Amino acid sequence: MAKKEKTAISPTRVEDYPEWYQQVVKASDMAEKSPVRGCMVIKPWGYALWENMVRVLDDMFKDTGVKNAYFPLFIPLSFLQKEADHVEGFAKECAVVTHHRLEKGANGELQPAGLLAEPLVVRPTSETIIGDAFSKWISSYRDLPMLLNQWGNVVRWEMRTRIFLRTSEFLWQEGHTVHATSEEAYERTLMMLEIYARFVEEYLAIPVIRGKKTRAETFPGAVETLCIEAMMQDRKALQAGTSHFLGQNFAKASQIKFQTREETEEYGWTTSWGASTRMIGGVIMTHGDDDGIILPPMIASSHIVLLPIVRNPDERSEIMSYTHRLASKLRDLDYHNRRIQVEIDDRDIGGARGWDWIRKGIPIRVEIGPRDMAENSVVFARRDRDHREKTSMNRAQFLSEIPQILDNIQLTLYDRALNFRDDHTHIIDEKTAFYDFFTPRNLEKPEIHGGFALSHWCGSPNCESTIKNDLSVTIRCIPFDAKDEKGQCICCGAPSERRVVFAKAY
Asked if residue 136 lies in contact with residue 158, where contact means CB atoms within 8 angstroms, the answer is no
Considering only 83, 127, 132, 356, the residue that binds a second copy (CB under 8 A) is 132
**Is there binding between residue 110 and a second copy (CB under 8 A)?**
yes
**Is there binding between residue 350 and a second copy (CB under 8 A)?**
no
Considering only 59, 84, 93, 385, the residue that binds a second copy (CB under 8 A) is 93
Assign 237 to helix, strand or coil: strand
Closer CB to a second copy, 179 or 424, in the complex:
179
Instruction: Return the beta strands (E) in 358-456 as ranges.
Output: 364-368, 377-382, 391-394, 425-427, 452-456
Q: How near is the Cβ of 435 to a second copy at its closest, in Å?
A: 35
In angstroms, the CA 274 to CA 414 distance is: 23
DSSP class of residue 140 equals: B
**Is there binding between residue 369 and a second copy (CB under 8 A)?**
no
Task: Name the segment binding a second copy (CB under 8 A); options: 129-137, 247-255, 366-374, 458-466.
Answer: 129-137
Asked if residue 252 lies in contact with residue 261, where contact means CB atoms within 8 angstroms, the answer is no
Closer CB to a second copy, 48 or 454, in the complex:
48
**Is there binding between residue 101 and a second copy (CB under 8 A)?**
yes
Residues 6 or more apart from 86 whose CB is under 8 A from it?
A: 80, 127, 128, 220, 221, 250, 253
Considering only 5, 70, 312, 469, the residue that binds a second copy (CB under 8 A) is 70
Helices 182-202, 44-63: axis angle to 10 degrees equals 140
In angstroms, the CA 451 to CA 440 distance is: 11
Binding-site string for a second copy from residue 166 to residue 205, where x marks contact by CB under 8 A and - marks none: ---x-x----------------------------------
**Is there binding between residue 401 and a second copy (CB under 8 A)?**
no
Considering only 18, 43, 182, 466, the residue that binds a second copy (CB under 8 A) is 43
**Is there binding between residue 385 and a second copy (CB under 8 A)?**
no
In angstroms, the CA 81 to CA 89 distance is: 11
Considering only 65, 72, 461, 495, the residue that binds a second copy (CB under 8 A) is 72
Task: Name the segment binding a second copy (CB under 8 A); options: 90-98, 202-210, 264-272, 335-343.
Answer: 90-98
Closer CB to a second copy, 76 or 446, in the complex:
76
Pairing of strands 169-179, 146-155: antiparallel
**Is there binding between residue 403 and a second copy (CB under 8 A)?**
no
Considering only 7, 15, 16, 81, the residue that binds a second copy (CB under 8 A) is 81
Closer CB to a second copy, 44 or 493, in the complex:
44
Angle ∠(268,269,273) on CA atoms, nearest 5: 130
Q: How near is the Cβ of 335 to a second copy at its closest, in Å?
A: 18
Q: How near is the Cβ of 76 to a second copy at its closest, in Å?
A: 6
Q: How near is the Cβ of 90 to a second copy at its closest, in Å?
A: 8
Q: How near is the Cβ of 297 to a second copy at its closest, in Å?
A: 20
Asked if residue 455 lies in contact with residue 435, where contact means CB atoms within 8 angstroms, the answer is no
Considering only 112, 440, 461, 495, the residue that binds a second copy (CB under 8 A) is 112
Closer CB to a second copy, 153 or 248, in the complex:
153
**Is there binding between residue 51 and a second copy (CB under 8 A)?**
yes
In angstroms, the CA 184 to CA 268 distance is: 11
DSSP 71-119: --SEEEHHHHTTSHHHHHHHGGG--EEEEEEEEE-TTS-EEEEEEEEEE
Considering only 100, 198, 339, 371, the residue that binds a second copy (CB under 8 A) is 100
Considering only 49, 87, 319, 342, the residue that binds a second copy (CB under 8 A) is 87
**Is there binding between residue 84 and a second copy (CB under 8 A)?**
no
| Side-chain-facing half-sphere of 82: CA atoms under 13 Å | 20
Task: Name the segment binding a second copy (CB under 8 A); options: 96-104, 192-200, 249-257, 332-340.
Answer: 96-104
Considering only 25, 129, 208, 327, the residue that binds a second copy (CB under 8 A) is 129
DSSP class of residue 501 equals: E
**Is there binding between residue 501 and a second copy (CB under 8 A)?**
no
Helices 278-287, 395-423: axis angle to 10 degrees equals 90
Q: How near is the Cβ of 480 to a second copy at its closest, in Å?
A: 32
Considering only 10, 65, 84, 102, the residue that binds a second copy (CB under 8 A) is 102
Number of residues that bind a second copy (CB under 8 A): 62
Question: In a 10 Å sphere around its CB, with 0-12 CB exposed, 13-18 middle and 19+ buried, how is residue 7 labelled?
Answer: middle
**Is there binding between residue 75 and a second copy (CB under 8 A)?**
yes
Q: Is 472 left (phi over 0), alpha (psi -120 to 50) or beta?
A: left
In 10 A of CB 68, how many CB atoms?
13
**Is there binding between residue 152 and a second copy (CB under 8 A)?**
yes
Q: Characterize 313-325 residue by residue with b for buried, 16 or more Cβ atoms within 10 angstroms of its Cβ, and e for exposed.
A: eebeeebbebbee
What 3 state SS string does 301-343 have? Answer: CCCEEEEECCCCHHHHHHHHHHHHHHHHHHHCCEECCEECCEE
**Is there binding between residue 71 and a second copy (CB under 8 A)?**
yes
User: Would you tell me which residues interact with a second copy (CB under 8 A)?
Assistant: 32, 34-36, 39-44, 47-48, 50-51, 67-77, 79-81, 87, 91-103, 110-112, 114, 119-122, 129, 132-133, 142, 148, 152-153, 155, 157, 169, 171, 347
